[in-house]
Amino acid sequence: MHGDESTKRAAQEYLAARLAQEGQSYEDRLNREAAVALAPRVWKQVTETVIAKCNEWNAITKEQTSHLQGNDGLEIFGCGAQANRK
């Protein structure tokens, strides 16, 4: 009888681990889909924020920023600010 209980327990643990792994895979897939869907909106907001900060800087310094480039490839040209994602 003891062998039956240990087999049953092992099977339950296996099924619990498998269910947890499937749940994690499902959650990972949903996160990837959400990231892809939200990326354009996020980059638009980032671009708008950087342009606004550039314009604020230009207003304070009374100069046009000729060229700013960050490590992520975001480039800002002048007060009109054109952003290009490389």
- pLDDT reading at 19 higher than 70: yes
Distances (CA, A) of 37 to 32, 33, 70: 9, 6, 24
CA-to-CA distance for 56 and 66, rounded, in angstroms? 14
Would residue 41 count as lying in a domain? yes
Distances (CA, A) of 33 to 27, 37, 72: 10, 6, 22
Tell me if 85 is assigned to some domain.
Answer: no
What is the pLDDT at residue 29? 97
How many structural domains does the chain have?
Answer: 1
Q: Which of 66, 63, 62, 60 is nearest to 82 (CA)?
A: 66
Q: Does any domain span residue 86?
A: no
Mean pLDDT of the 13-28 span:
96
pLDDT at 3 over 80: no
pLDDT of 82 > 50? The answer is no
Reported pTM: 0.51
The whole-angstrom separation of Cα 77 and Cα 14 is 58
Range of the domain at 19: 2-76
Contact 57, 65 (CB under 8 A): yes
